Chain A
Amino acid sequence: QVQLVQSGAEVKKPGASVKVSCKASGYTFTGYYMHWVRQAPGQGLEWMGWINPNSGGTNYAQKFQGRVTMTRDTSISTAYMELSRLRSDDTAVYYCARDRAEVVRGGGSHWGQGTLVTVSS
């Protein structure tokens, strides 16, 4: 069965960077886009961007351009999301979500368990 397992919680200081991993199993990793979505405490969902694990191509929400980098390592079926120049309002749970279909507009059908990133001095 499809599984996405994310790395553990992180505590970072303002200005630092964080890199969250998302290890996929149960399907062909390179066959489906991977989205990243975050959720601040008590708030709604916010789409950050996607990576095409096959080509490495990315599309980032303008809000995060210049601060976010999404990469992948196909040899270990793992996607990564790195966010730099962290601020207190980046405190959130970060999710990876595999697209439902072999296209980028299918919606997130399988989600990781989430990674809490806390930014605090």
Chain B
Amino acid sequence: IQLTQSPSSLSASVGDRVTITCRASQGISSYLAWYQQKPGKAPKLLIYAASTLQSGVPSRFSGSGSGTDFTLTISSLQPEDFATYYCQQLNSYPFTFGGGTKVEIK
């Protein structure tokens, strides 16, 4: 299963609402996770089961979707949110990742 993220990069300002999409090449139910990765660091799980916020993750992050189309939304971008975001499907083997979306400071 291929995951296509868009956009591949974006520039935004602190306080902006940011939406990242992840499209699967076939249906994956709700078996989708979102991660945040900062340079030189391991990924951090933000959302699992498409829309469930991982413990300790700020509520400005939210996920939605099922089947083939998913979104990650950051309601009000904070300075610490500038990073690369990845989706991962856990429906079928191999558990593929999307290509990533780099969120940069405008």
Residues of A whose CB lies within 8 Å of any CB of B are 35, 37, 44-47, 49, 59, 61-63, 95, 97, 100, 104-109, 111-114
Contact = CB atoms under 8 A, between A and B. Distances in A.
Given A105-B31, A107-B33, A109-B54, A47 B94 contact: yes
Given A47-B88, A107-B48, A109-B54, 9 more contacts: A45-B43, A45-B88, A45-B100, A47-B95, A62-B94, A100-B54, A106-B48, A111-B42, A114-B42
Contacts of A46: 97
Nearest to B100: A44
B72 to A, nearest CB: 13
Interface of B: 31, 33, 35, 37, 42-45, 48, 54, 86, 88, 90-91, 93-100
B86 A45 contact: yes
Nearest to A108: B45
Contact of B45 (A100, A104, A112): A100
A109 B44 CA distance: 7
Given A45-B86, A45-B88, A100-B54, A109 B45 contact: yes
A104 B90 CA distance: 8
B99 A44 contact: yes
24 contacts: A35-B95, A37-B43, A37-B97, A44-B99, A45-B86, A45-B88, A47-B95, A47-B97, A61-B94, A62-B94, A63-B94, A95-B43, A97-B42, A97-B43, A100-B45, A100-B54, A105-B91, A106-B48, A107-B45, A107-B88, A108-B33, A108-B45, A112-B42, A114-B42
